[in-house]
Structure 1
Amino acid sequence: MTRPMDAVTDDAAVAPWLVRLGARAMRCSAGCRGATVFLRCPGGEALGTATHPDLAVLAALQEDTGEGPCVEAARSLRTVAAVDLVAEARWPHFRVAALERGLRACTAVPVLAGGATATVTLYAFRPWRLTAPDREAVTVLAEETVAGLLRERARTGAEAEAEQLRTAMLSRAVIDQAIGIVTHLLDCAPDRAFDVLRVLSQRTNRKLSAVAAQIVRAKGRGSTRELRRLLDEVRAGAA
């Protein structure tokens, strides 16, 4: 069953790309009356969109049963077509479900880019064949969409990494300031001051950076007695 795709971005960010791809693929495919887009990333995460609820049901059915044009196209990386489902012997479960919804033909076009596979499946209400030029247009659209998503993923990842680094640097600076204050207040070595902050963090169940920030804000005022007691404990434990 399809599950949320969080390896690229969250669903809210990815879905509009796939919706636009399905709509554009329909417009450039004469005779097509509906489309589904299924995207699977290298880590296995996947997301699908459909232009109609009935088509979403068909996409889910294919994932559940492991049969159907979309699944076969993604597996083989070849375009898979059924010109008339009435005469189609493949995919019995999919065939019945599609015909019950008035669908007579479909074509699944897969693309592979950056390790991600996108499959655009187009549907028609009468016997129909996707022309070669239209297939090429759908392929180009799908490749552009996957490439755009991967670029967005890289940008978002780089921004998140930069923010994490910035936060770590700020935390380190605050901890260093707190060590300096405790060293001065208790007239001890910096490594002992750090041990005092660490023990205080454990005792209060707060992050070390939060403990350090509080000491820096107060400049150590009001906490000298407690800090000295902790220093005595640290020294006793090291003895």
Structure 2
Amino acid sequence: MTRPMDAVTDDTAVAPWLVRLGGRAMRCSAGCRGATVSLRCPGGEAHRASTHPDLAVLAALQEETGEGPGVEAARSLRPVGAADLVADARWPEFRVAALERGLRACTAVPVMTEGVTATVTLYAFRPWRLTAEVREAVTVLAEETVAGLLREHARTGAEAEAEQLRTAMASRAVIDQAIGIVTHLLDCAPDRAFDVLRVLSQRTNRKLSAVAARIVRAKGRGSTRELRRLLDEVRADGA
């Protein structure tokens, strides 16, 4: 079971997936000469990749103007295409920019998986239509890519959580050791020893785990007087 991908903070981790998807989709059709891929997460974060810099300009233009086959397909979750942009005036700014770059036709194919939308837009230099068979193949490729990204996101998230848990457990163990040392040195209850460590952490502006680690490394040597003074303060505050 994968976790929802609300956001992908590392664009460098996503880009290779999108570039690979664009290349594979482009090779599905003999008439296709380029591709762009956009990925939008539920939280609104977006990623893009293209097989040529001119196509990256077209993808950015669509995002800026809110018009074009890619953004329309992403909104409707239906394939959107233009067999010949010379005769198709639906997206004026996009149309002009595409024709200036020698592009005559395009088709955008969207998929949505667990709230993540991927849109693959294919381009051609001549009038051209994407066949149903190729559209289905591009859809499958896009679904596989999103599923792979979701799995990778879940794996890295699980690894990060596990590392945080290991760090927390290690810190807790050090703190427990320090409490035992302070309890022995000051002949006080463990909860009082913890209060002493907490106050020392606040006074030195250091993490509790760092304060505890210093006491454990020194086995309490050289700090008994300071700890007794803090214990007196803790007792006075609690009185």
TM range (shorter): over 0.9
DSSP 3-state at the match of 1:71 = helix
The Cα of 1:234 is off from its aligned counterpart by 1.0
Alignment of 1:31-180 (within 5 A): 31-180=31-180
Code of the residue aligned with 2:144 in structure 1: it is E
- The residue number in structure 2 matching 1:206 is 206
Q: Number of matched residues? A: 235
Task: Please identify runs of 4+ aligned residues in structure 1 that moved more than 6 A.
Answer: none
**Distance (whole Å) between structure 2 residues aligned to residue 125 and residue 45 of structure 1:** 31
Does structure 2 retain, via aligned residues, the 8 Å contact 1:78–1:109?
Answer: yes
DSSP 3-state at the match of 1:166 = helix
- The residue number in structure 2 matching 1:29 is 29
Q: TM-score, normalised by structure 2?
A: 0.96
Q: TM-score, normalised by structure 1?
A: 0.96
**Distance (whole Å) between structure 2 residues aligned to residue 146 and residue 58 of structure 1:** 23
**Distance (whole Å) between structure 1 residues aligned to residue 64 and residue 207 of structure 2:** 45
The Cα of 1:202 is off from its aligned counterpart by 0.6
**Distance (whole Å) between structure 1 residues aligned to residue 7 and residue 115 of structure 2:** 12
The Cα of 1:8 is off from its aligned counterpart by 3.3
Query: Is residue 2:194 matched to residue 1:230?
Result: no
Q: Sort the Cα spacing of 1:72 and 1:110 in 2 relative to 1 into closer, same or farther, 3 A.
A: same
DSSP 3-state at the match of 2:109 = strand
Structure 1 vs Structure 2 CA RMSD:
1.2
The Cα of 1:70 is off from its aligned counterpart by 0.2
**Distance (whole Å) between structure 2 residues aligned to residue 116 and residue 9 of structure 1:** 14
What's the CA shift string for 1:156-193, capped at 9, x where partnerless?
11111111111111111110110010000011111111
Does structure 2 retain, via aligned residues, the 8 Å contact 1:34–1:52?
Answer: yes
Code of the residue aligned with 1:166 in structure 2: it is R
Does structure 2 retain, via aligned residues, the 8 Å contact 1:9–1:153?
Answer: no
Unmatched segments (≥5 aa) in structure 2: none
Code of the residue aligned with 1:192 in structure 2: it is R
Does structure 2 retain, via aligned residues, the 8 Å contact 1:8–1:149?
Answer: no
The Cα of 1:113 is off from its aligned counterpart by 1.0
**Distance (whole Å) between structure 1 residues aligned to residue 119 and residue 6 of structure 2:** 18
Q: Sort the Cα spacing of 1:9 and 1:156 in 2 relative to 1 into closer, same or farther, 3 A.
A: farther
